[in-house]
Structure 1
């Protein structure tokens, strides 16, 4: 198991709030129809690693649930935000989510995948839970915000978390929020990978280096 170092003691909210805020500054494609899905997947062809996240319209009444409104995939050069409310989960996206050769890294994946399967079923494969890697590494932060603080030394905003993700037109703030979550997931996987902690097995990996903010943002 990775040896825990002092740098990775749990970050509380106050400590996280002292860190510099970080958001994805690269290109983002918002995909609204099946033609856009095909174009996006062509552009993602060959990407072995994708940051993964979903966003769901909040329910403010007891017993009310909504299906995921957005699916975000971050590649090495661009983030794609798929608006699922109007088009469902097209076959081509389901095929990618079932492709064991394509790593999809994220946090709370079991919940996200389960909710996506209420739209259209698929056999999930290639998903890597970052929380699982963090636990095996002996870290004390497990959520996306906590991991970004502990491993990357940055703070990600949660200001848009309860907004209407099913709106036909997303605001620039919503797009930036959604893109950042998927991008940070990819960056966190790369951080683990550089320390020899990739995939689902991290036994005998070297200690993780101290946090830094050397993030890979496309020009």
Structure 2
């Protein structure tokens, strides 16, 4: 679900806030010149039922969004989440809570391939495409390929976390909503 209107943010955050485990990622326009960087353009949050794409080119990085990202009661999981969080804090300060890095978890288990694509292949049995990764995430209108790619990254992150739970690698998990 692409959230690109301010009036849709509250309902999306209400639904997201009910979830104990979220897949998490961000997308940022790539910079191909030294010393040039861009703010994150998209925040992806995957629930058990859908993926929300928060298009920061159209909506503000609001207190409602920061509240979800600050909650220690809601697990947000992905690969290299520390970098994504650092970039979001530079955009607007908040105190992150509940973030779990799948790459760190995989390294702690002695796995040598800890990227999202390889974790998906090793744990879920399929590979995801990274072809759109370096596209222009700062566009006003995202392509259908960008939307699918962004949603897949967050969804896969949640699926991998759930697989780690199923395998007993992670001992505790919040209770899933009814």
In the alignment, is the contact (CA less than 8 A) between 2:17 and 2:68 conserved in 1? no
CA distance in 1, matches of 2:94, 2:21: 19
Which residue number corresponds to residue 153 of structure 1? 125
DSSP 3-state at the match of 1:118:
helix
- For residue 115 of structure 1, the aligned residue among 56, 63, 87 is 87
CA distance in 1, matches of 2:112, 2:123: 11
- Does residue 183 of the first structure (1) align with residue 155 of the second (2)? yes
Which residue number corresponds to residue 175 of structure 2? none
- For residue 76 of structure 2, the aligned residue among 83, 98, 104 is 104
CA distance in 1, matches of 2:81, 2:121: 20
> Structure 1 residue runs of 4+, over 6 Å off?
none
Higher helix share: 2
For structure 2, list consecutive stretches of 5 or more residues without a partner in the other structure. Answer: 173-178
DSSP 3-state at the match of 1:62:
coil
Deviation string 1:154-204 (CA, Å, 9 cap, x unpaired) is: 11001101111111111110000000000000000001001112279xxxx
Q: How many pairs does the alignment contain?
A: 172
- Does residue 47 of the first structure (1) align with residue 19 of the second (2)? yes
Q: Which structure is higher in RCO with an 8 Å CA cutoff and minimum separation 6?
A: 1
Deviation string 1:63-118 (CA, Å, 9 cap, x unpaired) is: 10001000000000000000112333110000000000000000001100000111
Which residue number corresponds to residue 18 of structure 1? none
Give 1:51 shift: 0.1
CA RMSD of aligned residues (A): 1.3
CA distance in 2, matches of 1:186, 1:168: 27
